[in-house]
């Protein structure tokens, strides 16, 4: 059973999430075995939206930009993250992107 998503209005959201890699990512003299996904700032989200064009590729670029910003990893290292670990990071970032809107109607939670 998937973990229950916190009610962001009444329950505190987890601010950090550690993603553990099954195999280290080696790039030059750097080796990464884990990285921390932190809550993005509004500016980080705004910059990432420059990549959001409604396509799958745009979505991947959007999240890669956010992962790079919140983790401090370089673009080159982020591009080497296994896709399953990318999805784990995206799942945590999505906690902060959920404004509670369930339909096409206006939401009053933001």
- In this prediction, residue 107 has a pLDDT band, given cuts at 50, 70 and 90, of very low
- pLDDT beyond 80 at 13: no
CA distances to 15, 23, 25, 75, 109 from 33, in Å = 20, 7, 7, 16, 37
**Residue 77: which of 67, 63, 90 has the closest Cα?**
67
**Cα 61-65-66 angle, rounded to 5 deg:** 120
Indicate if the alpha-carbon torsion angle 23, 28, 34, 38 is positive or negative: negative
pLDDT, tens only, 24-70 = 999 899 899 999 999 999 999 999 999 989 999 999 999 999 999 99
Judged by phi (left if over 0) then psi (alpha if -120 to 50, else beta), residue 102 lies in: alpha
pLDDT, tens only, 68-87 = 999 999 999 999 999 999 99
Give residue 75's pLDDT.
94
pLDDT, tens only, 55-64 = 999 999 999 9
**Residue 81: which of 68, 62, 97 has the closest Cα?**
68
| Structural domain boundaries in the chain | 16-97
What span, in angstroms and rounded, lies between the C-alpha atoms of 59 and 49?
9
Q: What is the mean pLDDT of the chain?
A: 84
Higher pLDDT, 5 or 20: 20
């Amino acid at each position: 059973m998937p973990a229950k998503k916190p009610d962001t209005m009444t329950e505190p959201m987890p601010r950090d999430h550690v993603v553990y890699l099954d195999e280290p990512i080696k790039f030059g003299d750097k080796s990464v075995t884990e990285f921390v996904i932190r809550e993005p700032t509004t500016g980080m989200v705004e910059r990432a939206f420059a990549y959001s064009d409604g396509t799958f590729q745009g979505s991947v670029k959007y999240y890669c930009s956010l992962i790079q910003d919140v983790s401090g990893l370089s673009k080159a290292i982020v591009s080497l993250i296994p896709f399953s670990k990318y999805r784990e990071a995206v799942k945590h970032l999505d906690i902060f992107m959920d404004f509670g809107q369930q339909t096409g109607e206006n939401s009053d939670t933001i």
